[in-house]
Amino acid sequence: MENLEEKSRLREVRKNVGEGGSNDFKPLVVIEFDVTAQQPAIEWLLAKLQASQKNNGAELLVRPVVMQHNQETIFFISATMERLLLATEMMEIKKVYKDGYHREFTLQDVANFKNSEDLDNFLTVAEKQKIILHELEALRAGEEDGNIPGYEAIKLYPGKSLVKKYLSRQIIKNLIPLHDQEQLKRLRVEWYYSFKSTQPIDKIRDYFGEKIAMYFAFLGFYTIALIPPAVIGILYFITSWESVYREAIFAVFNLVWTTIFLEYWKRYCSELAYRWGTLDHVSSQLEEPRANFYGVMGENLVTRKPEPVYPKYKQVLRFYGVTVPIIALCLVVCFYIMLGYFILQDWADQCYAKEKGWLNFINLLMPTVIYAVVIGIVNTIYRKVAKQLNDWENHRLQSSYENHLTVKLILFNFVNCFISLFYVAFYMQNMTVLRSHLSTLLVTQQLVGQFRESLVPFFFHRRRAIKVDEAIKKVANVQKIEFFNGEVDEAVQKQASIESTMDVYEGTMDDYLEMFLQFGYVFLFSSVFPLAALWALINNVMEIPSDAFKMCRVFQRPFSEPAANIGVWQVAFEIIGAIAVMTNCALIGMNPDVQKLLPSNISAVNIVIIFVIIEHIILSIKAAVAFFIPDVPKWVEIEMARMAYQSRLALQKEQIERAEKERILRRQIYPNRV
Amino acid sequence: MENLEEKSRLREVRKNVGEGGSNDFKPLVVIEFDVTAQQPAIEWLLAKLQASQKNNGAELLVRPVVMQHNQETIFFISATMERLLLATEMMEIKKVYKDGYHREFTLQDVANFKNSEDLDNFLTVAEKQKIILHELEALRAGEEDGNIPGYEAIKLYPGKSLVKKYLSRQIIKNLIPLHDQEQLKRLRVEWYYSFKSTQPIDKIRDYFGEKIAMYFAFLGFYTIALIPPAVIGILYFITSWESVYREAIFAVFNLVWTTIFLEYWKRYCSELAYRWGTLDHVSSQLEEPRANFYGVMGENLVTRKPEPVYPKYKQVLRFYGVTVPIIALCLVVCFYIMLGYFILQDWADQCYAKEKGWLNFINLLMPTVIYAVVIGIVNTIYRKVAKQLNDWENHRLQSSYENHLTVKLILFNFVNCFISLFYVAFYMQNMTVLRSHLSTLLVTQQLVGQFRESLVPFFFHRRRAIKVDEAIKKVANVQKIEFFNGEVDEAVQKQASIESTMDVYEGTMDDYLEMFLQFGYVFLFSSVFPLAALWALINNVMEIPSDAFKMCRVFQRPFSEPAANIGVWQVAFEIIGAIAVMTNCALIGMNPDVQKLLPSNISAVNIVIIFVIIEHIILSIKAAVAFFIPDVPKWVEIEMARMAYQSRLALQKEQIERAEKERILRRQIYPNRV
């Protein structure tokens, strides 16, 4: 090792902080530097992380370790209890107050918060990790910092987040919260080892944060909501009840059912959000801008705190001037690819009809294969483009950023997955093809999904874990682990090594997207393929444990993120619900059996009009159902009002007290005036 | 006069209060007793009104006067400035704070509110009157009050509002806030004497309260929004551009225009509400129950203050079990009356076709006359039924009560006014009849409306004012005005007499209803009758001053009521906007000229499908427009966030201070523990 002397310098810096022995050091977050990372850059960041807050440091506990098997430097990061609590106050994190409500934590009032007897465990591990992440990201370049030491080319501007810069320049390879093996084990047992009908949502929230817990709550709720349509689908399948009303009744049930499901989900969702203290709407002006948001340094319009400012009109221009046309173009391309597929297929069919040789039989399958490959390529390209456009739109808030990205993905995937079905259903008007096409799409997508999402990553994960194990063993045999490493448990070191090789969880977006497409397959054409709900139900019953497994064992632990609802997904599902009314009414209206049922003297025009009227009536019923089911349960509303009432009383009291103080002051200054 | 001795007793009671001379007594509210009112009941109420608050009185300034010309007792009511300010605090009325935000008034902090230098005029007259009304209504029967003195039969229950009881038993004939002649004069000049393009909305609000100001703001905004469709209508009328696109373009413009108008109204509305301090949503749990709400005495779930409680399930049962069926029945009756009208008309037409005698010509007009009369009768009956049902549903909140009543009226009037148009348009499919029918309905309704709303009441009002004048003069000639009357200006006495004979303003409901129906006439069938917008515009340009005149001169001054928006009317207008898409698409689709335009090989079925698709596209565009225009202007949102932020800071501070106090206390009690 050529840089031994530099490492002793590192040790010097670390000694200055003078924290306790390694026994009570429990790392929460791990920073893994790239193997090519320059030593001065590592040391500089280390010093910043350890420096006190008044010296513009992060004042965290850091243990640097050089891993022997791959020569990578890893920082194991933790913080003192006081540091964490101070940050909790600054970040306005809500904790349960003695009166049972979630209130913003204040250090001086700590004794009045629940569970504050044991301050070490007052915050959950996930909360501690979230706080450390916040403090890491809040470490910003000062006026005097021109560039990252060791990297002349990487300029720093005042106010720029250092860790973000390290990450974007890949000096830092990974920034991950460590799993808590003990907690994780307990969670896994409750979540997917025991065969329980409900998931431990609150514990998932404690471990992974509100956003991921919300996804699993939705997945569970949606799966249960699939039971009635699935049961009816089975009944339809096994009974021989032949009636033209068959499909119509099923479709109408499904259409109203989707509304009821989505409305009751909203209620359940706000119940969860209330329980987790995320319900009350924080104005988007108060939310902190996302780390990648750039602009001229200005001040927040509400809090007057400094933050980057970017003109709104530029954002709007970029969105409407560039993003919208490009997205529209992609959708059109998607449509033409679909058209090409049908033309090819038509040609192949004709060839096969002319001469039934094996060459022409293979030819028959070619269009589907080509279509699948092309669509796969286009999808990959589109995702990259969408991501870049979204970055470039420079959204101020994380929520707005995610919503815009989600809408982009939804639009494309909707067109991509459903346009061929629409084409078959309404242009070709071939119900047999539609049914087979739909069932093929649904079942294959589910199988491929299960395979790609869980089994493949798990296999790779296993292989990598074994590799890490072997590498560590080999190193241990050749040379003893260096002095640094005694301060962090070897088990933890190994855990960090393994977790850093795990896949990164990219957020709930793809998981929701999968459910969204499934929802579309099940309900858009339910009158044609009543068994779809059953397939979806079976898939989801397997999806819950496999997604849970994925979260616990395949992916790096994600940082906890707050959530009060499922965001744009709610709207997306509702729109599918509305489109489903149109498609199902059209499908039933096109059914010749149904048309025969009507008096024969009704003209074709009137049949269409009748179905349009039915469609409008169903849409109105859906709107009425949505209107009459309150979005928030009564008890939650009352509790929220109680909290607001107490806040108002407190505000009044504060006003009065201030006025009183001012009066006393005035009397002291002007004792003669009364 | 037989009850002279009773009057001297009155004087005794009044003297005890010992208020200043009549010169600085400016009455704000007037209670007019019925001429048959029993003297003990009057005296008892007087004592209660004057008694101090600690003796469960209202602690108001009251001057009782017996009017000589009609022997009615009138209480002239005012309050001391301190009493009013205390009530302002209790009622949590918002005033402008020194930082420019509306904050709930607190007496101790009074110096920090704007305009608090001149405390006498700190509150507007309308606010003072609202406060006095609140204090009058808050006067409740105690445990010891068995019945109203002088009325053995009228039992009182603890907690029952006395004034409400007096009013419902018609012991009190009128409870009205007096006009402020000086302010009124200034307002009138600005409002409808000068030919200005804008109304003095803020001054209307100061004088009449937010609810009425909101109506006039809406009326003005809507009138301006009518200009573009009216201009296009004129252009269409004077130019000879003949194209099948003519109606289609106009209709599409109108359909999108209604959405833009309604969305921008919402923005303007929230701007007004912000300016008036009514914007931030007060949870319905915090709102006080309406005075006529009955139930067992319980406590408010949020504030824990005592209030009547009525089980929700009973309300729901009453609504769905009784109200909904009855209303549905009424609508069906309405439909049958319309059917009967067309059958009669058909029969009359046939008679006239057979033999064109004058008898048959009269016969030709008879169905319309009968229809108008029957509809008038049904409408009157329906209103009574709707009102009674609504009372019986026992809504807890005034807003909920009004919304339910409004919806009942909207439903009936929608069916009543538009069903015949729908019948002609879509069942008879006769566009010529539709056009003439529509224009007749619109123009006659507007003329009748103007006549009935302003001219008739004004005429009656004039006549009554003259009568009062004569009666007073006659009395003055016969006998001198009694000793009581010296304490209240004779001019004020006369004003009270005249105002008590004025009509009661029944609220904005009928005014909105008129605009709502007009909106329907203009936009539901705009492709058939493009000049409708012009007629509506002309009507509204006259409607503003005539409504203003009505408010200032014809009706009793109403008590000021808060409002943040136009409530269910917004939804009602939006629904009309959505229905208009359907009707207009259908009308254009039915147009043979338009159908000719399409390639001749398109089947009738496909024509219908094309128009259904167009309809869906327009509906989607409307939804998108509504979605993309934010309901609240950016600056209002930021200001609201700022206010919320300051409240949060204050709450935190309060928590900390309380914790600090507790710590100090603990240290004093247990000095040895640190």
What pLDDT digit, counting tens, does each position of A192-212 carry?
877 667 899 999 999 999 999
What pLDDT is recorded for position B77?
94
The closest CB to that of B644, out of A283, A638, A645, belongs to A283
Query: What number is the ipTM of this complex?
Result: 0.78
CA distance B130 to chain A (A): 22
User: Which residue ranges of chain B lie beneath pLDDT 50?
Assistant: 1-23, 478-486, 674
| Option in B103, B302, B616 nearest A641 (CB) | B302
**At B362, is the secondary structure helix, strand, or coil?**
helix
Q: Which residues of A touch B425 (CB under 8 A)?
A: none
Per-residue tokens: A99: 């009166």
The nearest CA of chain B is from the CA of A373 a distance in Å of 33
Report H helices in A525-633: 532-549, 568-590, 592-597, 604-628
Interface test with A, best of B95, B109, B320 (most A CBs within 10 A): B109
CA dihedral A455, A459, A462, A464 (to 10 degrees): -130
What's residue A42's pLDDT? 93
pTM value? 0.83
Please tell me whether residue B567 adopts helix, strand or coil conformation: coil
- The pLDDT, as a whole number, for residue B382 is 93
First to last CA, chain A: 81
Which positions in chain A touch B658 (Cβ < 8 Å)? Answer: 109
**A-interface mutation test, from B103, B104, B108, most A Cβ less than 10 A away:** B108
Length of chain A: 674
β strands within B533-587, DSSP E? none
Q: Would you say the C-alpha torsion A35, A38, A44, A48 has a positive or negative sign?
A: negative
Q: Which residues contact B519 (CB under 8 A, 6 or more apart)?
A: B222, B536, B573, B576
- Mark B534-543 as b/e (b = at least 16 C-beta within 10 Å): bbbbebbeeb
User: Sorting pLDDT into bands at 50, 70 and 90, what band is A569?
Assistant: very high
Test A651 with B654 for CB contact under 8 angstroms: yes
| pLDDT for residue B576 | 95
Is residue A93 predicted with pLDDT exceeding 50? yes
- Minimum mean pLDDT among A166-175, A297-306, B2-11, B473-482: which range? B2-11
| For range A511-524, the mean pLDDT | 93
Nearest 5°: CA angle at A130, between A126 and A134? 170
Q: Which residue of A has its CA nearest to B639?
A: A302
Q: Which pair of structure tokens corresponds to residue B625?
A: 């427009």
**CB-CB neighbors (< 8 A) of A112 in chain B:** 655, 659
Residue of A nearest to B615 (CA): A612
Residues of chain A in contact with residue B285, where contact means CB-CB under 8 angstroms, are: 637-638, 641-642
Distance of alpha carbon A215 from alpha carbon B16, whole angstroms: 71
The closest CB to that of A641, out of B108, B285, B608, belongs to: B285
- Please tell me which of the candidates B604, B637, B660 has its beta carbon nearest to residue A108: B660
Q: Letter for the amino acid at A235?
A: L
Confidence of residue A483 (pLDDT cuts 50, 70, 90): very low
Per-residue pLDDT averaged across A564-592, rounded?
91
Contacts of B301 in chain A (CB under 8 A): 638, 641-642
pLDDT at residue A643, rounded to an integer: 83
Quote the pLDDT of residue A647. 73
Mutation target among B99, B282, B302 for the A interface, most CBs of A within 10 A = B302
Residue A408 confidence (pLDDT) = 94
Count of A–B CB contacts within 8 Å? 111
> Distance (Å, rounded) from C-alpha B562 to C-alpha B124?
14
> What integer pLDDT is reported at residue B674 of this predicted model?
42
Paired sense of beta strands B102-104 and B147-148, if any: unpaired
Candidate from A111, A303, A640 with C-beta closest to B645 = A303
Residue B545: count of CB within 10 angstroms of its CB? 16
A2 pLDDT higher than 50: no
Nearest to A384 by CA among A420, A412, A418, A419: A412
Residues in B closer than 8 angstroms to A645, CB to CB, are 283, 286, 302-303
A197 vs B106: CA distance, rounded Å: 54
- The amino acid at residue A99 is D
Distance from CA of A616 to the nearest CA of B (A): 10
Residue A261 has pLDDT above 50, yes or no: yes
**Burial zone of B632 (CB within 10 Å; 0-12 exposed, 13-18 middle, 19+ buried):** middle
Chain B residues in contact with A651 (beta carbon < 8 A): 647, 650-651, 654
Partners of B608 on chain A (C-beta within 8 Å) are 605, 608-609, 612
Closest CA to A32 of A58, A79, A70, A2: A70
| Per-residue model confidence (pLDDT) at position A281 | 57
**Which amino acid belongs to residue B506?**
E
Q: What is the pLDDT, as a whole number, of residue A4?
A: 46
Question: Which residues of A have a CB under 8 Å from any CB of B?
Answer: 103-104, 106, 108-109, 111-112, 283, 285-286, 301-303, 582, 603-605, 607-609, 612, 616, 637-638, 640-642, 644-645, 647-648, 650-660
Instruction: List chain B residues with CB under 8 Å of A660.
Output: 108
Is the pLDDT at A256 greater than 80? The verdict is yes
DSSP string for residues in A406-430: HHHHHHHHHHHHHHHHHIIIIII--
- Name the residue facing A612 among B612, B651, B652 (closest C-beta): B612
pLDDT of residue A283: 53
CA distance linking residue A67 with residue A61, whole number of Å: 19
Report the C-alpha gap between A616 and A606 in whole angstroms: 15
**Mutating which of A107, A283, A583 best tests the B interface, going by the most B Cβ atoms within 10 A?**
A283
Q: Which residue has the tokens 């002095």?
A: A483
Instruction: Report the pLDDT value the prediction gives residue A499, as an integer from 0 to 100.
Output: 86
Task: Record the tokens describing residue B7, joined without a space.
Answer: 């009057």
Confidence of residue A320 (pLDDT cuts 50, 70, 90): very high
Q: Which of B608, B645, B658 sits opposite A608 (nearest CB)?
A: B608
pLDDT class of A15 with cuts at 50, 70, 90: very low
Q: What is the C-alpha to C-alpha distance for residues A372 and A369, in angstroms, rounded to an integer? A: 5
pLDDT for res A17: 40
> What amino acid is encoded at B402 in this protein?
E
Average pLDDT over residues A82-110: 85
Nearest to B164 by CA among B134, B200, B185: B134
pLDDT value for B662: 65
On chain A, the residues whose CB falls within 8 A of the CB of B616 are 582
Q: DSSP characters for B407-443? A: HHHHHHHHHHHHHHHHIIIIII--HHHHHHHHHHHHH
Rounded Cα distance, A137 and A29, in Å:
13
CA of residue B430 relative to chain centroid, distance: 38
State the Cα angle at A285 between A284 and A290, rounded to 5°: 75
The predicted pLDDT at position B11 comes to 46
Main-chain phi, psi angles of A503, to 5 degrees: -70, 155
